[in-house]
Amino acid sequence: MANGIYGVPPAAQLGPLLSRLFCWALPGRAEPPKSISVELNKLEQEGGSCRAYLVVANPGTDAFSVFTLDLFIFDSGTIAQRLAIELSPIRPAKTTVKVFDIPQTACGGIGSILVNDVIHCRDASGDVADCINRISTSSKLPVTLSK
C-alpha cells in the first residue's frame, strides 16, 4: 500500500480535508431564502392600454410589506416604456395574481418585459437589500419576462 504525505495513507488524509470542504453543510446553518417566482401569465387589451397579469408565488416563510419592481417594456427591441409596479403584500407560502396596466400600449406591440430591479423591498425586519436576487421570472406567453 502506497503512503501519502508524511507517510500517512491517502485514505486517512481525506477525513480532515473533507471536513474542511463541507463545513458549510453543518446543522444550524441558515438556509438561503426561497425564490419568489414572477410569471407573466396573460396580456389583454383594455382600451388604449395593455393589461398584464402576473402570478407571484412565494414558497418561503418571509412576508413582504413592500416589493416594488422597476420594469422596462420593449417593443421589437427598443425600450417603449418604463413602469414601477407594486407586488405587495407578498404573503408567505402563498400565490397571488397582480394586475397592472401598461398605458398607451397595444399588447401586440410588446416584445418583452425586463425586471430591471427591485426598487424597494421590505419585510418584518425592515428594508431588505438585493431583492432582485430573490426572484425568478417566467412567461406563459411569447412575450418574455426576464431579469
Domains along the chain with CATH numbers: 36-146 (2.60.40)
pLDDT band at 127 (very low <50, low <70, confident <90, very high): very high
Q: Which residue has the cell 392600454?
A: 49
Contacts of 105 (CB under 8 A, 6+ apart): 48, 49, 50, 73, 80, 81
DSSP 3-state of 147: coil
Q: Write the pLDDT tens digit of every residue in 79-93.
A: 999 999 999 999 999
Q: What is the pLDDT of residue 32?
A: 61
Q: Write the pLDDT tens digit of every residue in 25-69.
A: 444 445 566 799 999 999 999 999 999 999 999 999 999 999 999
User: Residue 147: is it exposed, middle or buried by C-beta count within 10 angstroms (0-12/13-18/19+)?
Assistant: middle
Helix (H) or strand (E) run with residue 20 in it:
helix 10-21
Q: Write the pLDDT tens digit of every residue in 9-26.
A: 555 544 444 444 343 344
pLDDT band at 117 (very low <50, low <70, confident <90, very high): very high
Q: What is the pLDDT of residue 5?
A: 53
